[in-house]
Amino acid sequence: MSATAKIEKFSARELLNLRNELLQSGIDSWQAAEVLSGFLTGRGYGVSAEHARNAIMRLEGMGCNLDCMQEELENLAFVM
């Protein structure tokens, strides 16, 4: 995959569902990283557990809006 290649643009519905799952009460950052990893691996992408945890921390700091989520997913995912 070239350095300029991007992953797919996820639909607003997919991102909203992911966001709602991440914001669910009682879920900690480690569990949130697992949810994020599951979202990507379920769509055929690889993801580093450490990078997923770092992405969750960034998303928490940015308020988890859809544009930030798409950008984080693009930076986090790699084609398998």
Q: What does the pLDDT look like over 11-66, one tens digit per residue?
A: 999 999 999 888 887 889 999 999 999 999 999 999 999 999 999 998 887 777 88
In the chain, domain spans? 12-79
pTM of the prediction? 0.82
Return the DSSP state at 42: T
What's the average model confidence in pLDDT over 71-76? 89
**Residue 54 CB neighbour total at 10 angstroms:** 16
**Nearest CA among 65, 71, 36, 39 for reference residue 50:** 36
The DSSP secondary structure of 18-39, one letter per residue, reads HHHHHH-TT--HHHHHHHHHHH
CA distance 20 to 75: 21
> Are the C-beta atoms of 47 and 76 separated by less than 8 Å?
yes
